[in-house]
Structure 1
Amino acid sequence: MKKTLTVLIAAGALLGAAGCSASPQLSNAETCARVKTVVSAQSATSDKAGMTRVANQLRPIKAAASDDLRAPLQTIIEYFDESAKPNPDTAKLANMKAGYTQAGQTYGQICGSGGQ
């Protein structure tokens, strides 16, 4: 019984460690496909709750995103976070608008034709 318990504990520890390992970096095409899935979902609405859902679903994608798309995704997430606040700072949003627009253009260039 002791040996079985020890084996189970060891197996659990190994599985836990495997779950904590870094996820592999996605290619541009894989990143684009995952982002497209998030933004095309029915929960991706333009209201505050929808923007929060999209930002929260983009965070894990950004963590493993291709180098080309990581920074634009971060900019988009930050813009959505500010926009979704109960009382967004309009001056801050105005300052963020150019970066958000550029991030969208970068995303469109890379993902517009299905990614690379």
Structure 2
Amino acid sequence: MKKTLTVLIAAGALLGAAGCSATPQLTNEETCARVKTVVSAQSATSDKAGMTRVANQLRPIKAAASEDLRDPLQTIIEYFDEAAKPTPDTAKLEDMKADYSAAGQTYGQVCGTGQ
């Protein structure tokens, strides 16, 4: 009886760990739909608080994003994080601007927003 209980507990632990192991990867369409929901929300404003909210809402999407959109989303999040600081580093933002623009273009191409 003890051995059976131990085996069942071990099996349950393995199944539980397997169920939590990895986030499923989204397709381009799914990633685009989730990003569109975030940037279309009323809370997605261009002020510092709005940029922080958008960046924080994009983080879990980026974790499961399609391969095509993972890097562009990371670039966008990093840009928003810097821009939303109380005193953003303007030189750093200027350096990031080209990558941010390229990330937006990639997003537009993949998601068909016509950028």
Smaller-chain TM-score range? 0.7 to 0.9
The sequence identity of aligned pairs, in percent, is 87
Distance 2:42 2:14 in 1: 37
- 2:4 is equivalent to residue 21 of structure 1: no
Q: Offset of 1:19 from its aligned partner?
A: 6.2
How many angstroms apart in 1 are the aligned matches of 2:42 and 2:16?
33
Q: Report the AA paired with residue 90 of structure 2.
A: T
CA shift, 1:112, in A, is 1.6
CA distance in 2, matches of 1:59, 1:20: 18
1:74 corresponds to which residue? 74
Distance 1:106 1:32 in 2: 11
Residue 45 of structure 1 aligns with an amino acid whose one-letter code is T
RCO comparison, higher one (Cα < 8 Å, 6+): 1
For structure 1, the 5+ residue unaligned runs are 1-8
With the length of structure 1 as denominator, give the TM-score of the two structures. Answer: 0.82
Extract structure 1 runs of 4+ deviating beyond 2 A: 12-21
> Matched residues in 2 for 1:60 and 1:18: separation?
20
Amino acid at match of 1:72: P
Instruction: Measure the CA separation in 1 of the matches of 2:72 and 2:87.
Output: 24
Match of residue 6 from structure 2: none
SS in 2 for 1:21: coil
Unaligned runs of 5+ in 2: 1-8
Show the counterpart of 1:65. Answer: 65
What is the match of residue 88 of structure 2? 88
| In 2, Cα distance between equivalents of 1:48 and 1:22 | 32
